[in-house]
Structure 1
Amino acid sequence: MKILLTAINAKYIHSSLAIRYLYKNCADLDCDMKMLEVSINNHLIDIANQIFDEQPDILAVSCYIWNIELVKQLLPLVHRLLPQCRIICGGPEVSYETKAFMQEFPMVDFVVRGEGEEAFRALIEMLLAGKNGAEININGVAKRSVDNSIDEGVAVTVADLDSIAFPYDEADVENLKDKIIYYESSRGCPYACKYCLSCATRGVRYRSLDKVFAELKFFIDHDVRQVKFVDRTFNADKEHYLPILKFIAAQDCRTNFHFEIVAHHIDEEIKEILKTMPKGRIQFEIGIQSTNLQTLGQISRANPWQEMTENIKSIMAYGNIHLHVDLIIGLPYEDLTSFAKSFNDVYLLQADMLQVGFLKLLKGAAMNDLTQEHGYVYMPQAPYQVISNKYMDYKTMRFLQIFVDLVEMYYNAGRFRRTVTYLIGLYAQNAYQFFADFTTYWRQHNLHLAPHAPKNLYKFLADFIAANDTFSDKTVIYDILKFDALTSDGGKFRPEFLPWREVAKQAADDFYKSEQAQKYIKDYQFKSWRDLKKKFALEIFDYDMIEALQGNIKKRQNIMLFAYEDDKISYQQIQKGDIAL
């Protein structure tokens, strides 16, 4: 019997943990089982063709919020191409409202509800034994009975995480070398935030630390680029997560580990470990969602703000940990004024990324019980994003959609970070108002309809600066924007409207040929002018950029040297007398 496990990922760089779990936990069964991974960017017919080419007897499809609409198109097509193929679906999108799903898609024979490792294996064992749907009775598996009625069963969990086989092997890490690898050391969450699916299950289950250490060592030994933990709250239990952090800190590797944590579970002992963590070894994502106390109470979320703020600022001060913080638009009681305050509160933390998303009314989440009370209107199809409520109409939501895009392009992408930080300073640190004014300008000029190539983004920001009376001294702003351009994208974008002032050719020649260059460039050896132009840039600034980046504006003409090597960009100021202006 040939079985095809199929995952449709959100992006090419993603990988599916779910189908690897199923595959490894069925490895000893007497069948021909394969995995197929594609992305939602693949054409429907191309995905169907790949399935057809495999000629499976059983097709198992993993269903999530990002792929369910494509899956709904795929299932009838596959059934036409392979009418004898049995279809099994699983995942969060079909673990709830299962009966309605199976009624809408009669070609689906079974749905595995909840955590599928044990239930899926049991189902495959019975199918291999020649059992039909009516004869199969497995916890966690919805089926069709003899009269074609649907027995939903119940969603299940796996009690012992150690019983689940490690989902990766040598071939996997080789095939996934350019992709994100997902891993989990726990399931469940101690919290019950109403917008999250974790509110549907109680308690946290952990994988044994000896297994976790061995599995993380496997990733490290294979030089995996990034391992993203999918634990809902990685730092829920100190006895579990502190040893993992100590283990990771002690390794000699380039592997980066990503964790979702809560900021108020970081004590002094944890801080001591974080201080000594090798730079780039870990990154944290912290969900704040809102700073409105009434909102937080309604969604059953505790945010001890002072403790969170102190811990986040401590982490940022260490300078070795990349930090994301999250906000959600559309929560109860959060109107535009409240969101503006939440945004400004979180901006002032100065995290590496400020990720803003829109509330989604997920199947199985407790937020669905609050739709009438708060007047929620949301998309009828996945991702079920809220489009209005009592506190924000759709016009406001639409405005904030563009607002979020600008935060992503002009803050999170990092390309304009110094310029935007300086401009927000001129707005008296009112980051919301800066981005709101930029959003208004953006809409007035229909820039949301224009191509957003990097060179265009420079022009859009420069034009906004020119049109904004808040910015009186624009010369220093353009110097900072020029600095951003030279320290982003390998320095390859040189917008012609900026005040470029390269060092005179003779002065540059003298500098590179003299011993002075060795003061600034480690292991410097002159090879060719072409090589120099590719790796270095000398630029004259009217303002002291080192001081300006610290918030001190000093008009002092100076020269800066920018070095480009691999993915790294460095810069330094040339001392007076070492090169002629």
Structure 2
Amino acid sequence: MFEVISMKTVLVGINAKYIHPSIALYQLKANTSFEVKIKEFTIKESIDKIYRDLIGENPQLIGFSCYLWNITHVIKLSRLLKNNHPEIKIVLGGPEVSYNANHFLKETKADFLIRGEGEVAFSNLLMALNGDGELSNVPSLSYFRDDRFIQNPMILPDLNKINIAPLSVTDYHKRILYLESSRGCPFDCSYCLSSLEKRVRFFPLEKVTGIIKEAIKKRVPIVKFLDRTFNINKKYFLTILKLIEEENIATVFQFEIVADLLDKEIIEYLSTVNSRFIRFEIGIQSTNEEVNVAVNRRQNLKLLKENILAIRQNTNIELHLDLIVGLPSETKDSVISSFNEVISWQPTELQLGFLKFLRGTRMLDLVEEFGYKYSKNPPYEITRNDLLKESDLTESKKVEFVLNKIYNSKWFPKTLLFIFVNNLIDSYYHFFLAFYDYLKANKFSFSSYQRDSLYRLFASFLKDNISEYSQKLEFLVIQDYLDRSKTRPKKWWIDFRKIEKKDLVSLIEEKIKPFTKEDFFRNSVVVASKDEAYICFYKNFSAYSFLVPLH
């Protein structure tokens, strides 16, 4: 039996960044009557610093929330704590450790591990450790007793009975506010942990809307819903969207949705809302039907594309689309085809991810069948399989780099729009790959570089590869460069034509308001092509620009 003690409990979150709070810890604290302290760190902080900070709290129980990005830190900290202070009890929880409890208890020397959702289990564990109940009655708990591994049955909490904690997060109004309206997923995708719970359970709608109203009132910058299929319940979906439309001031709301579940009513409604405050994340993963079948992914690609294009063309909603490289049955040609198809829809952002073999997912059962090799260290990413060589994946990584720097960065909106509208590229995959090679050939520093060097090299690359529009494209690259500068930037281009500012005054007098002529002469940059002049003012660390026709 464990000694009955009055526990001083510290819950620890080691986050990717400060703006990403460890919401799970606040959920645990909100659902227990015991006193609990939360300590949050980031993965950039040293093990030694975190260790000393925790020891300074004189804890008797430490709980770690475990994810892909922090599990290495957690393992080192837990072992260090146990080696130096064996009297401190340690409990683990989170998706990274829930599906191999035996392994992680041994690896970390932790005393307990809670699998899955922890609100009820954690509170019951504290009760048991404080003498009110038995460990054997704590749901979802794993532990060793007398060298025997014990795993209590997993029980999911009733979402009608637990508290929702986002508004208790430290500095929540300055960070991303994570919110759930549901848990679980009705789909069965082999690569995803969410598919392990088939039933979707919902929090009471009034609790969710209450938090939304408070977030709006506090002008929280971003509210991100953690639901895996936010639009699975049409009533919840419409109610929350209408609430945002009626009351929102400046908060951005981000939802993960299934696009082929959107019906005509929803699509029509979306075209009427103030959609600049709404972001949709949509997983495409692959446009190859054979690949989708191989991972039990059900989606109507035709309807999915129609709905995405309808949203993009009729609303200002930001669309973040996802692809996964390395799924079963996917060849290099299939990867290229999916990439070219999806980027042609011109989403706000396209994420090119790489298959990860997460503990608990059915992908681990497909390793031998498809000849997979993958890293045994987090994030457990594919290195090759029977259809994709390591060199194929390295190539796709190069494309990912350029995708993020040229497309997702939003540094080149005017240039890319012109390229899309005029269908100047046959294969965006090969175009991005060629630009990567061009950067390498020009000794571009991939790890640290000046912004102007990327613009200069992209303009040069376009000139060499799309010669018919070389001057127009360079003019657009310069405009994008000027627009994204906060002060008068470094000049890297050669003027298309010389033009004096004094010769433009009569053409711009109406357009420069609220600026003065003095601002024009001192704080603006002018770039002139054959027919137009692009004028960009810099004031208060912002850029203001417009085109003037030259006659």
| TM-score of the alignment, normalized to the shorter chain, above 0.5 | yes
Does the Cα contact within 8 Å between 1:538 and 1:562 map onto a contact in 2?
yes
Task: Identify the match of residue 358 of structure 1 among 354, 358, 368.
Answer: 354
Q: Does 1:73 align with 2:76?
A: yes
> What corresponds to 1:432 in structure 2?
429
Amino acid in structure 1 at the alignment position of 2:51? A
Instruction: Kindly provide the CA deviation profile for residues 307-337 of structure 1, in whole angstroms up to 9, marking residues without a partner as x.
Output: 1111111111124211111110111121111
Q: Structure 1 47/503 Cα, relative in aligned 2: closer, same or farther at 3 Å?
A: farther
Amino acid in structure 2 at the alignment position of 1:520? K
Number of residues of Structure 1 aligned to a counterpart in Structure 2: 544
Does the Cα contact within 8 Å between 1:286 and 1:325 map onto a contact in 2?
yes
Task: Identify the match of residue 7 of structure 1 among 9, 13, 17.
Answer: 13
- Give, in angstroms, the shift of residue 35 of structure 1: 0.7
Q: Structure 1 525/384 Cα, relative in aligned 2: closer, same or farther at 3 Å?
A: closer
Does the Cα contact within 8 Å between 1:245 and 1:273 map onto a contact in 2?
no
Q: Structure 1 79/143 Cα, relative in aligned 2: closer, same or farther at 3 Å?
A: same
- Give, in angstroms, the shift of residue 293 of structure 1: 0.8
Q: Structure 1 135/302 Cα, relative in aligned 2: closer, same or farther at 3 Å?
A: closer
> What corresponds to 1:206 in structure 2?
202
Q: Structure 1 166/335 Cα, relative in aligned 2: closer, same or farther at 3 Å?
A: same
Q: Structure 1 416/125 Cα, relative in aligned 2: closer, same or farther at 3 Å?
A: same
> What corresponds to 2:534 in structure 1?
560
State how far apart, in whole Å, the 1-side matches of 2:511 and 2:492 are.
Answer: 28
Q: Does 1:300 align with 2:300?
A: no
- Give, in angstroms, the shift of residue 446 of structure 1: 5.5
Q: Does 1:103 align with 2:99?
A: no
Range with bigger deviation, 393-402 or 403-412: 393-402
Q: Percent identity?
A: 32
Task: Identify the match of residue 177 of structure 1 among 173, 176, 180.
Answer: 173
State how far apart, in whole Å, the 1-side matches of 2:445 and 2:300 are.
Answer: 37
Amino acid in structure 2 at the alignment position of 1:8? I
Any residues of structure 2 matched to 1:501-512 within 5 Å, and which?
503-507=499-503, 510=505
Q: Structure 1 137/209 Cα, relative in aligned 2: closer, same or farther at 3 Å?
A: closer
- Give, in angstroms, the shift of residue 492 of structure 1: 4.5
Any residues of structure 2 matched to 1:114-513 within 5 Å, and which?
114-129=116-131, 135-145=135-145, 147-158=146-157, 160-169=158-167, 172=169, 175-423=171-419, 427-445=424-442, 447=444, 449=446, 451-466=448-463, 468-490=464-486, 492-499=488-495, 503-507=499-503, 510=505
SS of aligned partner of 2:260:
coil
State how far apart, in whole Å, the 2-side matches of 1:423 and 1:529 are.
Answer: 36
Q: Structure 1 498/243 Cα, relative in aligned 2: closer, same or farther at 3 Å?
A: farther
Range with bigger deviation, 402-411 or 208-217: 208-217
State how far apart, in whole Å, the 2-side matches of 1:104 and 1:292 are.
Answer: 40
| Unmatched tracts of structure 1, length 5 or more | 543-555
What TM-score results when the alignment is normalised by the length of structure 2? 0.92
Instruction: Kindly provide the CA deviation profile for residues 96-140 of structure 1, in whole angstroms up to 9, marking residues without a partner as x.
Output: 11112112232x010011100000110011112277xx8543120
- Give, in angstroms, the shift of residue 448 of structure 1: 6.1
- Give, in angstroms, the shift of residue 575 of structure 1: 5.2
Does the Cα contact within 8 Å between 2:98 and 2:116 map onto a contact in 1?
yes
State how far apart, in whole Å, the 2-side matches of 1:568 and 1:121 are.
Answer: 50
Q: Structure 1 455/532 Cα, relative in aligned 2: closer, same or farther at 3 Å?
A: same
Does the Cα contact within 8 Å between 1:112 and 1:142 map onto a contact in 2?
yes
Q: Structure 1 330/244 Cα, relative in aligned 2: closer, same or farther at 3 Å?
A: same
Amino acid in structure 1 at the alignment position of 2:437? T
Instruction: Kindly provide the CA deviation profile for residues 381-423 of structure 1, in whole angstroms up to 9, marking residues without a partner as x.
Output: 1110111111111111112112101100110001023324545
State how far apart, in whole Å, the 1-side matches of 2:452 and 2:465 are.
Answer: 24
SS of aligned partner of 1:328:
strand
State how far apart, in whole Å, the 1-side matches of 2:52 and 2:518 are.
Answer: 52
Q: RMSD of aligned C-alpha atoms?
A: 2.5
- Give, in angstroms, the shift of residue 281 of structure 1: 1.7
State how far apart, in whole Å, the 1-side matches of 2:494 and 2:61 are.
Answer: 60
Q: Does 1:539 align with 2:526?
A: yes
State how far apart, in whole Å, the 1-side matches of 2:132 and 2:150 are.
Answer: 20
Amino acid in structure 2 at the alignment position of 1:303? Q
SS of aligned partner of 1:5:
strand
> What corresponds to 2:511 in structure 1?
520
> What corresponds to 2:27 in structure 1?
21
Amino acid in structure 2 at the alignment position of 1:433? H
State how far apart, in whole Å, the 2-side matches of 1:437 and 1:299 are.
Answer: 31
Amino acid in structure 2 at the alignment position of 1:100? H
- Give, in angstroms, the shift of residue 471 of structure 1: 2.9
- Give, in angstroms, the shift of residue 433 of structure 1: 1.9
Instruction: Kindly provide the CA deviation profile for residues 226-269 of structure 1, in whole angstroms up to 9, marking residues without a partner as x.
Output: 10001011011212212111111111411110000111111221
Range with bigger deviation, 484-493 or 199-208: 484-493
SS of aligned partner of 2:486:
helix
Instruction: Kindly provide the CA deviation profile for residues 19-69 of structure 1, in whole angstroms up to 9, marking residues without a partner as x.
Output: 01011112x32x3x1111111111111111221121211100000111111
